Amino acid sequence: MATRKNVLPGFNLSLGYTILYLSLIVLIPLSAAFIKTTELSFAEFWDVVTTPRVVASYKLTFGASLIGASINAVFGLLTAWVLVRYTFPGKRIVDALVDLPFALPTAVAGIALTAIFAGNGWIGSLLEPLGIKVAFTPLGVVVALTFIGLPFVVRTVQPVLEDLEAEAEEAAASLGANRWQTFSRIIFPALLPALLTGFALAFARAVGEYGSVIFIAGNMPMVSEITPLIIITKLEQYDYAGATAVAVVMLIISFILLLAINGLQWWNSRRNGQVR
């Protein structure tokens, strides 16, 4: 049997480059944040990260990120479904528009969303008479985070949906399954790992988002102030240890949530493998 020749270097060399690259790009900068935080005693650290203003920003940042990622999980799946399963005029334009949040500078996105959802904007002027105020409220933060997170779900689910075998759906239909049963028992289980991955990516992007949120949020302390703004404010005040302390808390919470999502994805993949 012929030995397969790899184009890239051997495992040991490739692994060494991988670890070195990850260390330079990820591990060393994150370690610097933890090291800078050690300038504070535990009591000082606790006082910084548990002030009412900072805690309120945690609730808004992580709560709005979870809501935005959940909305994208639903409508991102619908968008991917339409783009894959249907042919219609302007399909390529719609497909290109999905990537617009990737290409658009975040500050431009924030200004555009604020102009549209403000009281005198195209959409805001229609919503405010109904008692729905979007701009300069927590709802505006959710809108901005939903806007920037949509492509992650669509682009993660879309290729999986394209690769699904039509024979499985046809077999289910021939056995008497209706459309909902076919979707819930055949299609959705196959899409769930990709959907969870897209959800995790959208959530991770939303947690650290600053540019598109800062304009539409209003930045009112205890109301619509996000945690990244707290960090920026402390940096502008030369409170580097306080800024890194808040950043470390965000890192820990984000890591725990992403670990839980990945664990759920692993459990679902294992369960599906056992079922098969």
User: pLDDT confidence of 32, banded at 50, 70, 90?
Assistant: confident
In contact, 92 and 169? CB cutoff 8 Å: no
pLDDT digits (tens, 9 = 90+) for 43-54: 999 999 999 999
pLDDT greater than 90 at residue 60:
yes
pLDDT greater than 90 at residue 24:
no
Phi-psi region of 226 (alpha: psi -120 to 50; beta: other; left: phi over 0): beta
- Centre a 10 Å sphere on the Cβ of residue 15 and count the other Cβ atoms it contains: 11
Q: Could you give the dihedral angle defined by the CA atoms of residues 115, 119, 120 and 121, in that order, rounded to the nearest 10 degrees?
A: 40
pLDDT digits (tens, 9 = 90+) for 221-247: 888 899 999 999 999 999 999 999 999
**What is the pLDDT averaged over residues 156-166?**
86
Distance (Å, whole) CA 106 – CA 131: 28
Distance (Å, whole) CA 28 – CA 48: 24
What is the crossing angle of helices 52-85 and 91-98, to 10°? 160
pLDDT at 272: 60
In the chain the domains, ranked by start, together with CATH numbers, are: 41-275 (1.10.3720.10)
Distance (Å, whole) CA 191 – CA 187: 6
Strands (E), the chain: none
pLDDT at 116: 92
pLDDT digits (tens, 9 = 90+) for 61-100: 999 999 999 999 999 999 999 999 888 898 999 999 999 8
pLDDT greater than 80 at residue 220:
yes
pLDDT at 268: 66
pLDDT greater than 90 at residue 275:
no
Q: Specify the residue for token string 């598109």.
A: 212
Q: What is the CA radius of gyration of the chain?
A: 23
pLDDT digits (tens, 9 = 90+) for 241-267: 999 999 999 989 888 888 887 787 777
pLDDT greater than 60 at residue 1:
no
In contact, 90 and 78? CB cutoff 8 Å: no
In contact, 193 and 268? CB cutoff 8 Å: yes
Q: Taking the alpha carbons of 166, 169, 171, 174 in that order, is the dihedral positive or negative?
A: negative
pLDDT greater than 80 at residue 190:
yes
Read off the tokens for 178: 């209706």
Tell me how many degrees the CA angle 204-247-142 measures, rounded to the nearest 5. 40
Read off the tokens for 1: 């049997």
pLDDT at 45: 92
pLDDT greater than 90 at residue 117:
yes
User: pLDDT confidence of 59, banded at 50, 70, 90?
Assistant: very high
